[in-house]
Structure 1
């Protein structure tokens, strides 16, 4: 089954910027772009005249305006557009089977305040099994996503844990001629972990200390992706501190920030995770959240 990039549009400047960003990424990856707009007729139980045909026309107008704008800006790009009769979250998640990624708009107040991610955006990110890209109006429209630059990616835990995010970062960097900055944060183990029988500390001792151990862990996680994408220049950054703070501190010049999120559902449902939450609200660039098991 052929893949496509899916962007949700709702008539807002943010969603148009997201569609524009998605169009450029689709061209880089040589994939078609699919625009979707969610609308569902839900008559209210109040004594007012409710015009379903008019609402249908409004929904179609929103979609066609976005389609026309993207087609004009990106001539020749394979493009489809569809109104999905469902709630915004369910509609966008229903496209995952063929989606390479989902792209959504997010309001923001600039590099300091970062994103203001609405409840729909949070639900989509928490429920998605494909990467979700959050784009603000200034990130996408008007050619605000040039080639080159640096893609920053966070690597936490084991090599397997970080593989989906690393893979997305390298694929994206290769497509746009960018470099990758791989960031790994670490912290001192709690006092009770200092034990001769601690396997983690034993491995750290073998590596020559905690810092060399963390650096080695990052190198090992990067090794298969360096081999697969030899044309992508890679820099490594290992720093003590909270993962969110270290990642954001390393992303000031990033064109794209890639973070991972565990896709397992908990007792109260899926969650974004603290690192992804910090990135989505404070990063100075578009953010990709990549789920992993």
Structure 2
């Protein structure tokens, strides 16, 4: 049985946008779609039965709305759903373990485009062993496509770029493969970005300082990036690839690169820290501030 694309449902506008994105992704990947709604309720004992019935009714309404959105977007996608009582993060992580990927909604930040990522979404991103895609409220099918040159529908035009964040200090196959597969399924260009920092000076010995030429260092990084991606170019010959190296902070470079993109793909190392699972600083900052959907791909 094919693993499904999973979407979390909570009745909000952002979760409906994630459901619609997940439906389109399931269609692109020829996978079924599975909707999950979870609630956590702590009523007084004498009220538990009544409160549970009310919550189940509300869950059914949320799922019905989500199913209507799916059928409007992708009527032929196989669809299942579940509702469960318990911590939402735990329920979504359980569903994600059996999934191709999981899509969750995030609110747009007031004042500028971006994400306000709640505790549930961050908990899933930090712990999931499968890719997690964060989708902002208002995201629609047309947003994945390039502006049409004529009066045709925006969805008749090609897809916007898939942007891949590459850490050349430790390139990760899982992250790179996800991005190439996303670009292939969309017939989109893949734009691979690596950010590097200028070394102001390098000491060669007592009293000897040599400045490193920025252009030369950039060419070195670009050559390395092309070498890392060559095996993936060979595996995905139909995917057009543009390699870019940027002398800038990684967060700044990725937010800028994601402007006008259809999807940003970043990695997340699964590692237990003293304070427990959490996202790294670059991933955390990126998912807060970009406008397009963000795929966070876990790796060891």
Taking a change above 3 Å as real, the CA distance of residues 39 and 167 of structure 1, as seen in their structure-2 partners, is same
CA contact (8 A) 1:9 1:16 kept: yes
TM-score of the superposition, structure 1-length normalised? 0.87
Among 155, 162, 185, which residue is 1:175 paired with?
A: 185
Could you say what secondary structure the match of 1:230 adopts?
coil
Indicate whether 1:54 and 2:54 are aligned. yes
CA contact (8 A) 1:131 1:288 kept: yes
CA contact (8 A) 2:40 2:88 kept: no
Which residue of 2 is the match for residue 201 of structure 1?
A: none
How far residue 56 of structure 1 moved from its aligned partner, in angstroms, is 1.6
Taking a change above 3 Å as real, the CA distance of residues 49 and 94 of structure 1, as seen in their structure-2 partners, is closer
Among 247, 250, 264, which residue is 1:240 paired with?
A: 247
Which residue of 1 is the match for residue 168 of structure 2?
A: 157
Task: Tell me the number of residue pairs that the alignment of Structure 1 and Structure 2 aligns.
Answer: 281
Indicate whether 1:285 and 2:292 are aligned. yes
Listed as ranges, the gaps of 5+ residues in structure 1 are: 197-203
Taking a change above 3 Å as real, the CA distance of residues 246 and 58 of structure 1, as seen in their structure-2 partners, is same
How far residue 209 of structure 1 moved from its aligned partner, in angstroms, is 4.4
What is the distance in 2 between the residues matched to 1:13 and 1:284? 16
What is the distance in 2 between the residues matched to 1:47 and 1:37? 22
CA contact (8 A) 1:130 1:290 kept: yes
CA contact (8 A) 1:256 1:287 kept: yes
CA contact (8 A) 2:168 2:225 kept: no
Which residue of 2 is the match for residue 10 of structure 1?
A: 10
Listed as ranges, the gaps of 5+ residues in structure 2 are: 146-157, 206-211
Among 254, 264, 277, which residue is 1:257 paired with?
A: 264
Which residue of 2 is the match for residue 200 of structure 1?
A: none
Taking a change above 3 Å as real, the CA distance of residues 222 and 59 of structure 1, as seen in their structure-2 partners, is same
How far residue 234 of structure 1 moved from its aligned partner, in angstroms, is 0.6
Which residue of 1 is the match for residue 197 of structure 2?
A: 187
TM-score of the superposition, structure 2-length normalised? 0.85
CA contact (8 A) 2:161 2:263 kept: yes
Q: Cα deviations across residues 118-165 of structure 1 (Å, max 9, x unaligned)?
A: 11111111111111100012223x64333522001110034x633222
CA contact (8 A) 2:5 2:31 kept: yes
